[in-house]
Structure 1
Amino acid sequence: MKYRASWNGEILAESSEIKEIEGNKYFPQNSLNKQFFKETETHTTCSWKGKASYFNIDVAGKTNKMAAWYYPNPTPLAKEIKDYVAFWKGVEITEEG
């Protein structure tokens, strides 16, 4: 099964190697179309996954603020999502095959 993340008419990421936690599909960072992603200074903390960092997504002159997040140094309980990115705020996740 292959998954695709898209927003504003562009494919943000594609992979068959996603991880799913708490209903969120995490894509490997190497599957991202990096030209659409901009680091932010925003961080939040999850009690069991650790400190999250966020990307803004810029496509065709529109910005979806903090629409992607990842855990650069997850806790041991969440180590499987290190170097993986999840989406929200209108980013569509679809399945193929």
Structure 2
Amino acid sequence: MKAIWRGKVIAESDRTLEVDGYRYFPRDAVRMELLSLSPKTGGDLKCPHGVQFYDVVEGEARSPRAAWSYEAPQEKMKPVDHWIGFWEEVAVR
């Protein structure tokens, strides 16, 4: 599986997991240098799994909050603890 943003592969792995319709990549398969921490919103702080969103960034191009990770997942999300999920402008295929 690959996560692609603006024609660039930002994650690639044969070990992805699907949870609740979203595909997650192990952190070591993600080009973390293209992710920048997004400030937490009130809704983020209420997430029971400790969500952290990331902007996907390269140069001046930015896709806000297009990636996320669960930093303190409860049982349901433990299989993807600290893995990275993508959505919106990032195509996963």
The aligned runs of 1:8-87 (5 Å cut-off) are 8-42=6-40, 44=44, 45-46=46-47, 50-87=49-86
Aligned length: 90
Assess, with a 3 A threshold, how the Cα gap between structure 1 residues 87 and 6 changes in structure 2: closer, same or farther: same
- The CA deviation at 1:40 is 1.6
Unaligned runs of 5+ in 2: none
How big is each residue's C-alpha offset from its partner over 1:13-49, in whole Å with a ceiling of 9 and x where there is no partner?
A: 00011110111000001111122111122252445xx
What one-letter code is carried by the residue in structure 2 that aligns with 1:10?
K
% identity of equivalent residues? 23
Normalization by structure 2: what TM-score?
0.87
> Is the Cα contact below 8 Å between 1:8 and 1:59 reproduced in 2?
no
* CA distance in 2: counterparts of 1:31 and 1:37, whole angstroms: 13
Q: Per residue, is there more helix in 1 or in 2?
A: 2
> Is the Cα contact below 8 Å between 1:18 and 1:28 reproduced in 2?
yes
Normalization by structure 1: what TM-score?
0.84
- The CA deviation at 1:77 is 2.6
Unaligned runs of 5+ in 1: none
SS at match of 2:33: helix
How big is each residue's C-alpha offset from its partner over 1:57-76, in whole Å with a ceiling of 9 and x where there is no partner?
A: 01342100000011011012
What one-letter code is carried by the residue in structure 2 that aligns with 1:27?
F
Name the residue aligned to 1:89. 88
